[in-house]
Amino acid sequence: MSDACELIRRARPGEEVEITAMIRELAEFEKASHECAVTEKHMHTALFGDRPVAYAHLVEVDGQVAATAVWFLNFSTWDGVAGIYLEDLYVRPAFRRRGLARKLLSTLAAECVEHGYSRLTWAVLNWNVNAIALYDAVGGKPQTEWTTYRVSGAELDALAGETG
């Protein structure tokens, strides 16, 4: 495994095909593929459109796309600066246990340091013990005092309808 040639870099236009495929693979892994409606067009617009709202890094191993990290900037009012929110980190099964996830986290941490961002934040499913072990190992701290909420679908439409 140490003989493999690895390259971590920002995604480029056209690579939304691989990124979308990995997002779908992640949704399947998370037992939520029925909730995943993303298309290559969505990802192209989000990553490479006139006003990108997300960014992605890819890991290549011997020329094959092995992993991705999709992220966006958020803002801390308490720190007064931006941070990175890691939306998805996915390593394809054939490339796991090589340290690629840790290298992606390190790359995003370096992005934070380089740009003066104060945080790197992400969420993990409670049952994903392998990911939790990695996040603990890199010094991640679970934010147990916070509960994440989401409004989507019909509830989002109903809430938006209250503006009138």
Q: Does residue 1 belong to any structural domain of this protein?
A: no
Domain that includes residue 37, residue range: 6-163
* Residue 21 CB-half CA count within 13 A: 11
| Residues annotated as catalytic (active site), given as ranges | 135
- Tell me the pLDDT band of 147, cut-offs 50, 70 and 90: confident
Residue 3 has pLDDT above 90, yes or no: no
User: Which residues, listed in sequence order, are joined to residue 57 by a DSSP beta bridge?
Assistant: 10, 69
- Number of structural domains, the chain? 1
Residue 62 domain-assigned (yes or no): yes
- Is 103 within the bounds of a domain? yes
Query: What's the CATH code of the domain at 11?
Result: 3.40.630.30
Instruction: Say if 105 falls within a structural domain.
Output: yes
pTM for the complete prediction?
0.92
In a domain, 87, yes or no: yes
CA–CA distance, 121 with 75 (Å, rounded to integer):
11
67 contacts 92 by C-beta, under 8 angstroms: yes
| Dmax (CA) of the chain | 62
Tell me: pLDDT of 1 over 70.
no
